[in-house]
Structure 1
């Protein structure tokens, strides 16, 4: 599971993290004692402790990454289970690669951090943040986050390519990383690209012509577009994105769906305090403008940082969010039922119920001051305004410390920049 990247759980028998600098053989990693124990636990029907994120998503009625992968690989599951030996080991032949191309990114989203976006490395210490690295030394490793340039990574990748059936790219922003194009060309040169599918997590700010040409050498492509709101609110959350560019690129994908070998374009929205009350506008935009692009975004609850969770909102804003989401769920369902090829994607509507369930599962208003402090700190730094874009958030001003509330009118700095 790619979540291991963040947990650092994949260790050898001596408790040392396994990576391609130390271990150059997929067999050693995939049949490590840690992996064997994990498989056996799953085969017993137990939830490993490492899988907490997926468990919580599913128990809340959502559709987890585990379920996504099982659906995509359903034809292999029986054979994989039958081929697993009593000790949990397997015959290793990698069929799918999730290629994380560092943190090079063109955006600095409000809920993001230097690990996932190079744009945050420079400015992180200039704003009021207390949930990630606090010193220049802690951030230095992310200035040199270029493991994907390691020759060993590419040697290993070239050995896998003849057998691959799927290649996923994420970042950072994969569309601006030259090594992504290099990977596509390696696949094409191998003669196996026609048997492979591609998937991307991308902010859709950049769609290079060269990449769209290369896609046509592959079986098909799925685009998971990271868009969190409609128009100016998306630009606010996913700074410094430009809605007109995003909209134009989505229109390009819609118009050239077959030419680019697209199988699906799905908007994936991180549901958080910033957008839960207005994400419905994104539903309207998709529903009214597209036939090939999935007309409903897939909602994914933000879990970290905690003070951006939807659970922090007061009851009146939670009630507003619920009302708007359920209204748009009904409209989206009507639209999808009218398009036969969209019937298989109806399960995305379940994520709307899960978003409401997650929001209402806890009352974390105690984190509102921390949310407001972080939001207004970024506002000051970027010359933006939370309350202009989200007028319903006026009720939150009562949660501001008196001296910070006064700065909304005086223009005094909220933080020492």
Structure 2
């Protein structure tokens, strides 16, 4: 059995759980420890929260299960039973919705995981061999498509908007007017950008149990904040090396790739494999606009430092979030990825483009005017065609000698973005499309002393500054 169109099977519930929010005694009292659990990171997105319906109990402190107890609990067991019976479980609604949007084969997260992440996986004898962590929200960047709950530095923007009475209504994560009207205690949003509020105490029993049983793990997936500076991630690395477990563990991490120091690379080299999801959405000035305040040349230096010094088996997945801000620069990022592959042929590279979430926010591609979307669609399809044509030549070549001196990335998937643009071509354009886009752009421009005209593609700027 494998995930494919026509069934509802996924490997992930048979091998891992996702622990994406933790709490400390100082902030959460009885609710310290594990505060959120799901099957994978993909099932816990804006609009799809709490798929296992356990978060309320965890946050109240009424239950304190270990990671293994959650994995073998009735909620996860039920999902596995549904999948083995060929039934669609509602907890996996994110993938079902993505597959409804596109008929292409790799249109969802589960369909991109066609093989088990580790050969030890048995559907009739599931074992917890992987954990998908969000360690904390400590970050060094203030990315425009992110939120203060995932980057403590974005609290600077949230507080700026509120203090200066800037309209950010319906901007996900920054709608301070809504938070105030609903009397929401937005403790993940307000306060100092130097604090972290989504990680647990060093002596938390649930966390210590994971470290105690670290030799049972064969992989972890990790996000932040910025994973490479998260306290819990650093503790995990050190414990795995100390327990001689690192050589059996695959690190599958998301990173903005700006913190690959020599010390960090030396630690990573102890592990069996590094699977790096490189969160890079654009190049040059456009990159600097989105992933403020990072200079492009500093990012480039960091990722080249990793590629030149990493010794363990390594695969780099370039993961781009396409929005109305970045979509015109995807070909440049694609070419940059190919340049890295030529420079470091011992490393596998691939490219995956996703859409900004939630899909109805102001910077979503679907709200651009039809003529711009049509041009973008042509550009994206041509880039994908370029990749497919090269792969076809390699397959049809007798021995590959003709292309021996041309290194090309190992995989590329643009289906999600192409489907969104294509499906939105027929939608009726509304005045609110431009209004919401400009509202979001200008709010952040004020908090960073930027001007979108200096960073966005000329077609987008022309439309934004026009009277229609």
TM-score, normalised to structure 1's length? 0.82
Kept after mapping to 1: 8 A contact 2:322/2:417: yes
For the Cα contact (< 8 Å) 2:188–2:197, is it kept in 1? yes
* SS at 1:279 equivalent: helix
| Contact 2:219-2:250 within 8 A present in 1 as well | yes
Q: What residue number does 2:286 align with?
A: 233
**Higher mean C-alpha displacement, 234-243 vs 43-52:** 43-52
- Structure 1, unmatched stretches of 5+, are 84-89, 402-417
* Aligned residue in 1 for 2:231: 178
In the TM superposition, residue 328 of structure 1 has moved relative to its aligned partner by: 2.2
The aligned counterpart of 1:415 is none
User: Aligned residue for 1:413?
Assistant: none
Structure 2 residue 50 is the aligned partner of structure 1 residue 8: yes
The more displaced of 115-124 and 358-367 is 358-367
Partner of residue 41, structure 1: 82
Q: Deviations over 1:233-273 (max 9, x none)?
A: 1111111121101111222233234x2x1420121101111
Question: Structure 1 pair 147/178, CA: closer, same or farther in 2 (3 Å)?
Answer: closer
2:320 equivalent among 269, 292, 295: 269
> 1:53-68 to 2 correspondence within 5 Å?
53-59=94-100, 60=102, 61=104, 62-68=106-112
Q: Does 1:145 align with 2:211?
A: no
Using a 3 Å threshold, how does the CA distance of structure 1 residues 253 and 207 change in structure 2: closer, same or farther?
closer
Judging by fraction of residues, say which structure has more helix: 1
From the superposition, tell whether residues 233 and 166 of structure 1 become closer, same or farther in structure 2 (CA, over 3 Å): same
How far did 1:289 drift? 4.2
Aligned to 1:279: 330
- Matched with 2:374 is 319
1:310 aligns with 2:383: no
Tell me, yes or no, if the aligned pair for 1:254 and 1:290 is still in contact at 8 Å.
Answer: no
Q: Which stretch shifts more, 20-29 or 265-274?
A: 20-29
Contact 1:102 1:147 in 2 (8 A): yes
CA distance in 2, matches of 1:398, 1:211: 45
Match among 198, 204, 222 for residue 257 of structure 2: 204
Indicate conservation of the 8 Å contact 1:8/1:17, yes or no: no
The alignment status of 1:388 with 2:454, answered yes or no, reads yes
Q: Which residue does 1:357 correspond to in 2? A: 419
Distance 2:60 2:263 in 1: 31
Q: Which moved more, 1:282-291 or 1:96-105?
A: 282-291
State how far apart, in whole Å, the 1-side matches of 2:93 and 2:272 are.
33
1:254/1:19 CA distance change after superposition, 3 Å: farther
2:168 — aligned with what? 129
User: In structure 2, how many angstroms separate the alpha carbons of the residues matched to 1:162 and 1:230?
Assistant: 40
Question: Cα 1:364–1:20, aligned 2, differ >3 Å: closer, same or farther?
Answer: farther
TM-superposed deviation, 1:217: 1.5
Is this contact kept in 2: 1:266–1:297, CA < 8 A?
Answer: yes
The residue that corresponds to 1:112 in the other structure is 146
User: Is the partner of 2:320 in helix, strand or coil?
Assistant: strand
Structure 1 residue 322: Cα displacement? 1.5
* 8 Å contact kept, 2:316–2:349: no
- Relative to structure 1, the CA distance from residue 364 to residue 286 in structure 2 (aligned partners, 3 Å threshold; closer, same or farther) is farther
User: Which residue number in structure 1 is paired with residue 70 of structure 2?
Assistant: 29
Who is 1:397 aligned against?
464
TM-score by length of 2: 0.74
- Whole-Å Cα distance in 1 between the matches of residues 247 and 356 of structure 2? 36
Return the alpha-carbon distance in structure 1 between the equivalents of residues 56 and 269 of structure 2: 44
The 3 A distance-change label for structure 1 pair 99 and 341 is farther
What SS does the corresponding residue of 1:270 show, helix, strand or coil?
strand
Instruction: Give the whole-Å Cα distance in 1 for the aligned partners of 2:56 and 2:449.
Output: 47
**Alignment equivalent of 1:376, drawn from 413, 432, 442:** 442
* Structure-2 separation of matches of 1:200 and 1:206: 13
Q: How far off is 1:286 after superposition?
A: 2.1
| Structure 2: gaps (5+ residues) | 1-38, 162-166, 395-402
Looking at structure 1, the residues matched to 252 and 338 of structure 2 have their Cα atoms a distance apart, in angstroms, of 23
What is the total number of aligned residue pairs between the two structures? 385
Change (3 A) 1:153 1:277: same
Shift of 1:120: 1.1
| Cα distance, 1:164 vs structure 2 | 0.6
CA RMSD across the alignment: 3.0
Find the aligned partners of 1:57 and 1:339 in 2 and give their Cα distance: 37
For residue 17 of structure 1, report the CA deviation from its aligned partner. Answer: 4.0
Distance 1:18 1:310, change over 3 A: same
Q: 1:328 aligned to 374, 383, 390, which one? A: 383
- The CA deviation string for residues 163-201 of structure 1, in whole angstroms up to 9 with x for no partner, is 110022210001112332211111112222111111110
